[in-house]
Structure 1
């Protein structure tokens, strides 16, 4: 684990060139770390090839999994108490909006977490999701280091109080594909996501979509994954058919 210490001792934050990792954690979370190694793991990408004393790969992915669960639990409790009239469907949708990948990426970016990432992969090759992944890993690390009570306090103060507006979130769309499919099913429309690989001259793999309703193309889209391409096509279809939907 000495490579951990040497890296993070010399690592520089975007906020200041003299800030150490323990100082950054205290600034970001409000708590001084008890076990800095946990936070070092939270910023370690598997490309480093590090292993712990038991021979297990060291990376932020397990902490990301843990942080996702803790964050979801805290947000679920918040919404449950904040909106007593909300039914199960409403509460589930609101929680999904707050912990959406887009929102978590925004949090990770605002916190400047990528500046602490320990990786062999050039940062320009990471997609936006790295920001949200690191934020979830930070939450997981904080939970292991400080426990649920203080982690909940951090989430409520730095996430809920700062970023969550129930009224605005009620009108926010998190999945145009879901809305499109629900509308088609409700109106007995036959739809088809005709998705195929379309790399063309790009070095990066791309996928294209022809979105059809009753054999008529209503939208086209192209992106670096099937999921992104289908969501983009659904969004275009949503606005093209907005007066009907």
Structure 2
């Protein structure tokens, strides 16, 4: 317990000299004055920087990302618990998943332009799309270490809950078209298959081509930079093709 208390206790260090561009911009984004700027610098350090502490432990945003994910999930869970008293466990879990979906977190990270602060030895064009959401979670983790849960909760409410969490709209939001299509096929006892086929695209970046068949008939094709994205895109096309039938499930 002593170790955890030491790790998660609120920093008592004084604020750094105000004047650095990072500190000034960060303060504006946070809406409060950070006390220990080191937490935030770590939140934007990419693993390619190969930084370590005096014990050889890696210094990058990945551990803060893990912490921020937990903080975000707990704050959103508490909000939904209070706002939807009639919601059962399954409903609350599904709604939380919609709010903290990777797509939504990436959107939040892009809106705050967090990538401008990343310290890395690789070009930004080589970052995956998920870096935006990863940085957002890491920032939340840094806030928690720097100012404690109260500031962390307030930041999440200001940046996530107040501008984006509309219960009625979220109820109709689709997280995964693939899940919807698979669920419909299973209930209707239809066979389905996602198959990679030959892709003759001329792009320099590798693409995956997927065809979705239902009951042996090709119903949609799609291409994307990953197999998962291609499957989701094909599922979305199939969903709109069968939307009326799927919505009657």
Provide TM-score, normalisation by structure 1.
0.88
Partner of 2:153: 152
Partner of 1:111: 112
Q: Is the contact made by 1:74 and 1:155 (CA closer than 8 Å) also made in structure 2?
A: yes
Distance 1:84 1:141 in 2: 31
Cα deviation digits, residues 204-235 of structure 1 (max 9, x gap): 22211110111111111111111111111100
Partner of 1:131: 132
Distance 2:212 2:159 in 1: 40
Q: Secondary structure at the match of 1:189?
A: coil
Task: Please say if 1:190 is aligned against 2:191.
Answer: yes
Distance 1:50 1:69 in 2: 24
Task: Please say if 1:171 is aligned against 2:172.
Answer: yes
Partner of 2:85: 84
Distance 1:41 1:221 in 2: 38
Q: Is the contact made by 1:208 and 1:220 (CA closer than 8 Å) also made in structure 2?
A: yes
Q: Is the contact made by 1:47 and 1:120 (CA closer than 8 Å) also made in structure 2?
A: yes
1:165: how far off? Answer: 1.2
1:199: how far off? Answer: 6.9
Distance 1:208 1:236 in 2: 14
Q: Is the contact made by 1:48 and 1:118 (CA closer than 8 Å) also made in structure 2?
A: yes
Give matches, 1:31-70, under 5 Å: 31-70=32-71
Q: Secondary structure at the match of 2:42?
A: helix
Partner of 1:218: 219
Distance 1:198 1:204 in 2: 12
1:19: how far off? Answer: 5.9
Q: Is the contact made by 1:50 and 1:57 (CA closer than 8 Å) also made in structure 2?
A: yes
Cα deviation digits, residues 138-185 of structure 1 (max 9, x gap): 001111111112201111122111221111111111100110111011
1:75: how far off? Answer: 0.4
Distance 2:150 2:227 in 1: 39
Q: Secondary structure at the match of 2:243?
A: coil
Provide TM-score, normalisation by structure 2.
0.87
Measured on the aligned residues, the alpha-carbon RMSD in Å equals: 1.7
Q: Secondary structure at the match of 2:244?
A: coil
Distance 1:128 1:141 in 2: 21
Task: Please say if 1:162 is aligned against 2:192.
Answer: no
Alignment CA distance shift 1:199-1:47 (3 Å): farther
Distance 1:198 1:90 in 2: 40
TM superposition outliers: structure 1 runs of 4+ over 6 Å? none
Q: Secondary structure at the match of 1:57?
A: coil
Paired positions, count: 229
Distance 1:182 1:63 in 2: 35
Distance 1:208 1:93 in 2: 30
Partner of 1:5: none
1:197: how far off? Answer: 6.8
Q: Is the contact made by 1:199 and 1:207 (CA closer than 8 Å) also made in structure 2?
A: no
Where does the alignment leave 5 or more consecutive residues of structure 2 unmatched? 1-18
Where does the alignment leave 5 or more consecutive residues of structure 1 unmatched? 1-17
Q: Is the contact made by 1:197 and 1:206 (CA closer than 8 Å) also made in structure 2?
A: no
1:196: how far off? Answer: 4.9
1:58: how far off? Answer: 1.6
Distance 1:154 1:108 in 2: 14
